[in-house]
Amino acid sequence: MVATTRLSPMECALREARAAAERGEVPVGAVIVGADGAVLAAAGNRTEADRDPTAHAELQAIRAAAAGYGAPRLVDCDLYVTLEPCPMCAQAISFARLRRLYYGAADPKGGGVEHGPRIFSQPTCHHRPEIYGGIAEQEAAELLQAFFKARR
Which residues 6+ apart lie within 8 Å of 119 measured at CB?
87, 90, 91, 94, 112, 113, 125
What local confidence, expressed as pLDDT, does residue 5 receive?
Answer: 56
- The pLDDT tens digits of the residues spanning 110-133 come to 999 999 999 999 999 999 999 999
- The pLDDT tens digits of the residues spanning 93-116 come to 999 999 999 999 999 999 999 999
d(CA 13, CA 25): 14
Band the pLDDT of 134: cuts 50, 70, 90.
very high
Write out the catalytic residue numbers: 58
Q: Is the pLDDT of residue 2 over 70?
A: no
The model's pTM is 0.94
Burial 13-32 (b: 16+ CB within 10 A, else e): bbbbbbbbbeeebbbbbbbb
Find the mean pLDDT for residues 10-26.
98
